[in-house]
Amino acid sequence: MIREKCVYSGTKIQDIYCIPQVPIFCGCVENIEQYKYEDLIFSISDNGLIQIKNLIQLEDLYKNNHNDSVGSVWEKHHVSFSEFISPIIQNKKVFEYGGASGKLYNLCQTENKDWTIIDFNPMLESKNKLNVLAGDASNFFDESYEVYVSSHFLEHLYEPFLFLEKLRNIKKNGIHAFSIPNQKLWFNNIYTNSVFFEHTVLLEDEFIIQ
């Protein structure tokens, strides 16, 4: 798939750099021959938004599970984010985009009426107040929920601004609490995962917060 226009403004994008034959899978495989490779083409729009031009089919990109976050930094993030949303989700129906590991749910499960998770590769099953769905989260909208949450999800979307617009339109009085990585900091520090096949748009505050 080829991105023809800026995901934010719809204006033309211009190619600025290409890294040839980059592995599309962000994880480990048993045999190196299992990796697939594509050129990683960086483009920029008239408004300065950096984005990847060539997009991978989601079925290939997320074919295998690699979304279980581990380590002290992730643990601190989940605890901090759960503390942030705790007063928001009190006795509310919660819908979580992403969240395949269920870690955020496990930290908050006593504070809400019920909780639904949708993810390409969920790592847990439905139980008690938890409902788990498998599928493309970017196209799933349900107005029956009161609070929507997502952690490190928006940066994975090919159309993050369209997703936010759709979510706002289906639930005008709802709440969407989310966290995203500081991609601009990563980019300035030359982190290879700041913008790549899974993070195809360099999300910055001036574009997200409108």
Which helix (H) or strand (E) segment holds residue 66: the answer is none
The span from the CA of 169 to the CA of 135, in Å, is 21
Report yes or no: 70 and 34 within 8 Å, Cβ to Cβ: no
What is the reported pLDDT for 67? 60
- What residue type is assigned to position 48 of the chain? G
Report yes or no: 36 and 23 within 8 Å, Cβ to Cβ: yes
What is the reported pLDDT for 123? 82
- Which tens digits make up the pLDDT trace of 54-107? 999 988 888 766 666 677 888 899 999 999 999 999 989 999 999 888 889 989
User: Integer distance in angstroms from the first to the last C-alpha of the chain?
Assistant: 28
**E strand residue ranges, 46-145:** 50-52, 93-97, 114-119, 130-134
pTM: 0.90
What is the reported pLDDT for 86? 92
Q: Encode 173-203 in three state secondary structure.
A: CCEEEEECCCHHHHHHCCCCCCCCCCCCECC
Phi-psi label, residue 158: left if phi above 0, alpha if psi -120 to 50, beta otherwise: alpha
Closest to 149 measured CA to CA, from 205, 194, 83: 83
What is the reported pLDDT for 69? 65
Count other Cβ atoms within 10 Å, centred on residue 135.
Answer: 11
Point out the residues of the chain with pLDDT beneath 50: none
What is the reported pLDDT for 29? 74
